[in-house]
Each structure stands twice: as C-alpha cells, then as structure tokens.
Amino acid sequence: MKNKLIFVACDTSNLEKIKKIINQTNSNKLKIIPKFGIQFFYSKNGRKFLEKFKQDFWLDLKINDIPQTALSAIDSLKDLKKCKYMTVHVNGGFEMLKSIKKKAKKVNKDLKILGVTILTSLNSKSLKEIGHTKNVEQLVLKQAALIKKSGCDGIVCSAQEALMIRKRYKNLLIMTPGIRLPGDSSNDQMRIVTPKQAFKNRVSGIVIGRSLTKGNIKNNAKKLADHLNR
C-alpha cells in the first residue's frame, strides 16, 4: 500500500498535537503525508512550523478570490519548499484556476494544484439551500471539466463521485476526504466511504482525519493498514 497516497488531516492549532499526529502516523506499513488546513496555518505557530518542515506536505487553504489576489497568495507561499499539494476552490472560476496553475510552476515546479469541488459535508439538499439547481454528481462533473481545462493537476471530491470522474479523466489526480474506517461515526460528513472502497473507486489519494487522530493514533494507523491489506 506504500504506492497509495494517504494523507492525515492535521486539524488542530495545538503544535504539540500536530507533532504527535505526525510522529505516531509514521509507519513501516504505510506512508502517511500530513495535510495542514486553515486552523493550523492561521495559528500563531503554524506558519513558522511549516517554513522549517522537512517532509512533503499538503497545504489545504482552498484559495478562492479574484485572480490577482489568489496569485499574490500563491506568491507569498514560495518559501514553503516542501509543500507538494495546494488546494484552490473551483468557485473562483476558470481564470483563477488557470492563473494559479501558471504561477505555481514558477513558485515550485513540484507543486500540484488541486481544485476543491463540493465539500463532503454537503449533499444535494444542502446545494439547493444555497441556490444550486444541479445535484451533487452533476455539479462535481461540471467542476471536474473546469479543473481539467484550466490545467490544474487534480480534483478534491467525495469518493462517491470518483469513479464517475475517473472514467472521463484518466490522468487527473483524485483526492478524497470524507474517509472513515468501518464502524466509525460520520460526524459532520455527509458523503463518506471506507479507505478500501475509495481505492476501489480508483482515487489517487485519501484524506483521513478523526478515524486516525481520535484516540490511540498508533492503533488507528495499524487498523488502517490492516483494513487496506485485507
């Protein structure tokens, strides 16, 4: 399973907890890459920590603004040399996506830009509430086309939509949050699947949060490895 991309969501502003998550998800059986979101990045010590971080990581900022502001944001992150994945929100539109991908090549040739689609905390009912007329699958497929056209490297979506996207876009990175080990609570997620099912749906990588970080992290990592190797 070492060839599978597995990310752990480091969703805390507590630096000691971050270090614990990173250390205890280190395993001979799995390579688990940390994903840092806005909670940690915006914290007092978060930005400083990432400047000196020596491992590859995913910075999940979901950038969504007018193209020039978005470009300035990417430029301000050029010192984060080990950042290998960066998220931008498809809602920013085609010009923003295209501009960011072009800028990213200059900032860091290894940086992969991932377009975030419909958050896994939302479902078709939620979309109607905020004014969308398409259901989740229709909207994600339309957003995937925009991501591909813009030249971005990949898409962030639920694993429930992954197979549909993979059939159309063979080479697009498909990263999927909303992952839970069997029997774990869904919490605030709506569109969830197990790690094994996600990879069966031909995703490139999975993001696991509470199923790994809640309780005994080492035991959880072992459960994940056992689950994937069954």
Active-site annotation, residues? 62
**Encoded tokens for 177:** 């949050």
For residues 157-186, one letter each, b for 16 or more C-beta atoms within 10 angstroms of the residue's C-beta and e for the rest, the string is bbbbbbeebbeebeebbbbbbbbbbeebee
Q: How far is CA 45 from the centre of its chain?
A: 22
Is 34 within 8 Å of 58 (Cβ atoms)?
yes
Q: Which residues pair with 88 in a beta bridge?
A: 63, 115
**Encoded tokens for 33:** 């890459």
- Which helix (H) or strand (E) segment holds residue 143: the answer is helix 136-150
